Amino acid sequence: MAALILDGKRLAARLNEQTAAAAREWAEHTACRPGLGVVLVGDDPASVSYVTAKERACAAVGFHSGEHRLPASASQQEVLAVVRRLNDDPAIHGILVQLPLPKGIDEQTVVEAIDPGKDVDGFTPVNVGRMMIGQPCFLPCTPHGIIRLLIDSGIETAGRHAVVVGRSNIVGKPVAHLLMRKAPGGNATVTVCHTGTRGLAGFTRQADILVVAAGRPRTVTGEMIKPGAAVIDVGVNRVADASAPRGYRLVGDVDFDSACGVAGWITPVPGGVGPLTIAMLMRNTLEAAQRAAARDSRGGKG
C-alpha cells in the first residue's frame, strides 16, 4: 500500500490562519504589529527563494517585514552592523539571518550578535541552551514544525524508535532533542546518524520515525525503510531537469518513489516540511512581539 502523504502545506496554512487571527486580535488591543527583519547576504538562489517565501508569509499574516540585502562581498563587520541596528529597532521584534553565510563570514559570530529576545530562529546559544534544559525559549522552526506535523497527524512518538539522519545545528541536533524530550511529540528513543555512521541502512531500518536531514538526494531509499514507518524528508535539493520550466526540479533526501511503497507516512518535497518552517517562524515572531510589549509595559525590565 502506498504511504499516506503528510501534507505540511495544508497544516501550515491552518497554523498561519491562527497566527494571523491572533495578530489581528492583539493589534485591536495594542495597535502593535509584529515586525521581522530579514538579512540576506549574497545571492545564493535557494536562500533568495527562502527569504522571498518568508517575506510573503509575513505579508499574508499581517506582519511588517524589512529586508536587508548585502552583497556576497560584504564584510563580517557590515553584517554585524545590520544585526545590531535591528537589535535596536523597536519596530523589529524578530531577526532572521538567512544561513549559510558566504565564506569569510563567521556564522557563529553573527548568530551570537542577535538579541536572544529577537532570535526567532532559535539559533543563539541562549535559546539553544534553554531548549536543552526545558526552559521557555524560541524553538528552532524546522524541528518544531516536524514535531507539530507528527502530533497533528496522530503519529505516536512515545516509546518509539526515532532515527535522525544528519547532525546540523539547524535541524539534526535540535530535532533529536525535541523527539527525546518529555513532551507531546517526544518521549522517543533517539538515534542520530551522520557522515561518520557505518552501515546507515542498519539504523534506518529500525526507525519507526525516520527524519532525514542529510542534504543529499537519495540518502535514503525504499529498502532502507522499515515497513509502516513515518518518514520526514527535510532535504531540498535542486536537480537538473530539462523538461521542468526552470531547468531544475526539487527533490528531497529520500527517494520518494521507492520510499512510498514501504513507508506508512511520508512528507513530499516540496510541500512537506518547508511550509511548516515558515509557519513556525511566524508564530515565533508574534510571540517575540508580544513578549517585547509585555516587557515594555513592565517598564523594560526583563
Question: Torsion-angle region of residue 296: left (phi > 0), alpha (psi -120 to 50) or beta?
Answer: alpha
Please give the distance of CA 177 from its chain centroid, rounded to a whole number. 14
Helix (H, G, I), strand (E, B) or coil at 64: strand
Whole-number Cα distances in Å, 147 to 30, 78, 104, 232, 277:
32, 36, 34, 10, 11
Q: How far is the CB of 237 from ligand GUN (least distance, A)?
A: 13
Which residues fall within 8 angstroms of residue 49, CB to CB, at 6 or more apart?
Answer: none
- 206 among known catalytic residues: no
Indicate the residue among 20 and 99 with the shorter CB distance to ligand GUN: 99
| Catalytic pick among 115, 118, 119, 121 | 121
Q: How far is the CB of 140 from ligand GUN (least distance, A)?
A: 7
Cell numbers describing residue 279: 509557519
Q: How far is the CB of 278 from ligand GUN (least distance, A)?
A: 9
- 121 among known catalytic residues: yes
| Bridge partners, residue 40, by sequence | 69
| Bridge partners, residue 192, by sequence | 164
C-alpha to C-alpha distance for 270 and 280, rounded to whole angstroms: 17
C-alpha to C-alpha distance for 192 and 213, rounded to whole angstroms: 11
Residues near ligand GUN (CB under 6 A): 96-99, 121, 141-142, 170, 277
Indicate the residue among 97 and 289 with the shorter CB distance to ligand GUN: 97
Indicate the residue among 6 and 36 with the shorter CB distance to ligand GUN: 36
Q: Cβ distance 73 to 103 under 8 Å?
A: no
Indicate the residue among 141 and 176 with the shorter CB distance to ligand GUN: 141
Whole-number Cα distances in Å, 44 to 75, 200, 210, 234, 298:
17, 31, 29, 19, 42
Q: How far is the CB of 221 from ligand GUN (least distance, A)?
A: 24
- 18 among known catalytic residues: no
Indicate the residue among 96 and 113 with the shorter CB distance to ligand GUN: 96
Residues annotated as catalytic (active site), given as ranges: 54, 98, 121
